[in-house]
């Protein structure tokens, strides 16, 4: 059931909070199609043992992912990838502001990982052809 990847681990000295690393990893895994709507995520207990982090950290990440509409928690059954929601209607000004925000976040993350921005841009362009 480990659809998040056995080789994945958190980076404790990256400056990015662990719960945000979990959120980003789940978002990336869903975006890449390795997790599909209805797929079950590891339990909080299983993921905290796999990553060697506090279970409250995993619970916080899962709560935020649920708030973002990426996960659905089903009492007694676990957490599942939520079906995609219809995108909200937004003005071009709001879309541009969000694009600037996401671009800054990607650039910061790439810089902290030592990944050149041109490599990120190339990957985004390749992904665009698969969408």
pLDDT tens digits, 58-90: 999 999 999 999 999 988 888 999 998 777 788
- Find, among 55, 49, 43, the residue nearest to 19 by Cα: 55
Global pTM? Answer: 0.67
What confidence score (pLDDT) does residue 113 get?
Answer: 84
- Joined tokens for residue 53: 């982090």
pLDDT tier at 106 (50, 70, 90 boundaries)?
Answer: confident
């Amino acid at each position: 059931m480990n659809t998040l990847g056995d080789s994945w681990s958190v980076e404790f000295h990256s400056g990015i909070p662990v719960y945000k690393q979990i959120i980003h990893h789940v978002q990336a895994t869903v975006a890449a199609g390795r997790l599909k709507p209805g797929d079950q995520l590891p339990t909080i207990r299983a993921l905290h043992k796999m990553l060697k982090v506090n279970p409250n950290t995993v619970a916080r990440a899962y709560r935020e992912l649920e708030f973002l509409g990426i996960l659905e928690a089903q009492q007694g059954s676990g957490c599942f990838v939520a079906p995609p929601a219809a995108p909200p209607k937004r003005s071009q000004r709001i879309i541009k502001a969000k694009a600037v925000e996401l671009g800054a976040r990607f650039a910061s993350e790439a810089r902290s990982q030592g990944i050149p921005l041109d490599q990120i841009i190339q990957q985004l362009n390749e992904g665009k052809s698969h969408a």
